[in-house]
Chains A and B, each alone.
Chain A
Amino acid sequence: MEPVLEKWQQEVSVVTIGTLKIGGQKTLPYLFTEGPIPNKPVIAFEVWDIAPADWPEELQKNYQDVFSHTIAWAEKCVRQYKAGMLCLRLQGAHPDFGNKSAEEEAELVAELLKRMNLPLIILGCGDDEKDNLVIPACCEAAKDKRCLVGSAVQDNYKTIAAAVSADGHNIIAESPIDVNIAKQLNILISDLGLALEKIVINPTIGALGYGLEYAYSIMERARLAALSGDKPLASPFICFVGQEAWRAKEAKADAAAGIMWEVLTAAPLIQAGADILVMRHPKAIEKVNQYIDNLFRR
Chain B
Amino acid sequence: MFIIGELINGMYPNIDKAIKAKDKSVIQSCALQQVKAGADALDINCGPASRQPVADMQWLVQTVQEVTDKPLSLDSSKPQVIEAGLGVIKNKVIINSTTADPQKLQILVPLAKQHQAKLIGITISNKGIPQNKDQRLELAANIVAACLEQAFPTEDLYLDPIVMPVNVAQAQMRDIIESIREFKIISEPAPQTIVGLSNVSQGTSVRSLINRTFLTMALAFGLEAAILDPLDRELMDAAITAELILNKQIYCDSYLDAYRKR
A and B form one complex = yes
Within residues 243 to 262 of chain B, which ones have a CB less than 8 A from any CB in chain A? 248-255, 257-258, 261-262
Interface residues on chain A, size class: 10 to 19
Cβ of A108 within 8 Å of any chain B Cβ, yes or no, is: no
The answer to whether A232 touches B261, judged by C-beta atoms less than 8 angstroms apart, is yes
User: Which of A183-191, A244-252, A256-264, A281-289 is found at the contact surface with chain B?
Assistant: A183-191
The answer to whether B249 touches A187, judged by C-beta atoms less than 8 angstroms apart, is no
Residue in B closest to A233 when the chains form the complex, CB atoms: B250
Residue in A closest to B155 when the chains form the complex, CB atoms: A7
Report Cα–Cα, A221/B257, bound state, in Å. 20
Name the B residues within 8 Å of A196 (CB-CB).
Answer: 261
How many whole Å from A217's CB to the nearest CB in chain B?
13
Residue in A closest to B247 when the chains form the complex, CB atoms: A225
B250 in complex: contacting residue of A188, A190, A191, A222, CB < 8 Å:
A222
Q: Which of B250, B254, B258, B261 has the most CB of A within 10 A?
A: B250
How many whole Å from B7's CB to the nearest CB in chain A?
24
The answer to whether A230 touches B251, judged by C-beta atoms less than 8 angstroms apart, is no
From DSSP, what is the main secondary structure of chain A's interface residues? helix
How many whole Å from B254's CB to the nearest CB in chain A?
5
Name the B residues within 8 Å of A225 (CB-CB).
Answer: 249-250
The answer to whether A187 touches B257, judged by C-beta atoms less than 8 angstroms apart, is yes
Within residues 21 to 59 of chain A, which ones have a CB less than 8 A from any CB in chain B? none
The answer to whether B254 touches A230, judged by C-beta atoms less than 8 angstroms apart, is no
Report Cα–Cα, A111/B117, bound state, in Å. 59
Report Cα–Cα, A229/B259, bound state, in Å. 9
Name the B residues within 8 Å of A231 (CB-CB).
Answer: 258, 261-262
How many whole Å from A220's CB to the nearest CB in chain B?
12
Name the B residues within 8 Å of A221 (CB-CB).
Answer: 250
Convert A56-81 into 0s and 1s, putting 1 for each residue whose CB lies closer than 8 angstroms to a CB of B. Answer: 00000000000000000000000000
How many whole Å from A64's CB to the nearest CB in chain B?
45
* A binding-site residues for B, Cβ under 8 Å: 179-181, 183-184, 187-188, 190-191, 196, 221-222, 225, 228-233
A-B contact pairs, 18 of them (CB 8 A): A179-B250, A180-B252, A180-B253, A183-B251, A183-B258, A184-B253, A187-B252, A187-B254, A187-B261, A190-B261, A221-B250, A225-B249, A230-B249, A231-B261, A231-B262, A232-B252, A232-B258, A233-B250
* B binding-site residues for A, Cβ under 8 Å: 248-255, 257-258, 261-262
Q: A179-B250, A187-B261, A190-B261 are in contact. List 6 more A-B contacts (CB 8 A).
A: A180-B253, A183-B250, A187-B254, A222-B250, A230-B249, A231-B261
- Which are the 8 A-B pairs with shortest beta-carbon distances? A184-B252, A183-B252, A187-B254, A232-B258, A225-B250, A180-B252, A231-B262, A184-B253
